Amino acid sequence: MKVAVAKYSVGQPADFEAFAARQRLALEEARRGGAELAVLPEYLSLELAATFEPGIRHDFNASLAALQALQPAWLALYADLSRELCMTIQAGTFLTQVGLDRYRNRAWWFAPDGTRDYQDKLQLTGFEKDAGVIEGGDELKVFDLKGVRAGIAVCYDSEFPLPVRAQREAGVRLLLVPSCTDTQAGATRVRVGCMARALENRMFIAQAVTTGAADWSPALDTNTGEATIYAPMDRGFPEDGILATTCGTQAWAIADLDVDALERNQEQAQVAVDRDWDGQMLPALRKARYSGRQVA
Strand 148-152 versus strand 143-145 pairing type: antiparallel
**Domain assignments of the chain as residue spans, ordered by start:** 1-275
pLDDT digits (tens, 9 = 90+) for 33-90: 999 999 999 999 999 999 999 999 999 999 999 999 999 999 999 999 999 999 999 9
Region 221-238 average pLDDT: 94
Which CATH number, 3.40.50.300, 3.40.50.720, 3.40.109.10, 3.60.110.10, labels domain 1-275?
Answer: 3.60.110.10
pTM: 0.95
pLDDT digits (tens, 9 = 90+) for 230-261: 999 998 899 999 999 999 999 999 999 999 98
Give the per-residue pLDDT at 262. Answer: 87
Tell me how far apart the alpha carbons of residues 7 and 252 are, in angstroms, rounded to a whole number.
6
DSSP string, 88-150: EEEEEEEEEEEETTEEEEEEEEE-TTS-EEEEE--SPPHHHHHHSSB--------EEETTEEE
Three-state secondary-structure class, residue 30: helix
Region 111-117 average pLDDT: 97
Q: How confident is the model at residue 275 (pLDDT cuts 50, 70, 90)?
A: confident
Tell me how far apart the alpha carbons of residues 84 and 36 are, in angstroms, rounded to a whole number.
12
The sign of the CA dihedral 222, 225, 226, 230 is negative
Nearby residues of 84 by Cβ (< 8 Å), 6 or more positions away: none
pLDDT digits (tens, 9 = 90+) for 74-88: 999 999 999 999 999
Tell me how far apart the alpha carbons of residues 231 and 31 are, in angstroms, rounded to a whole number.
22
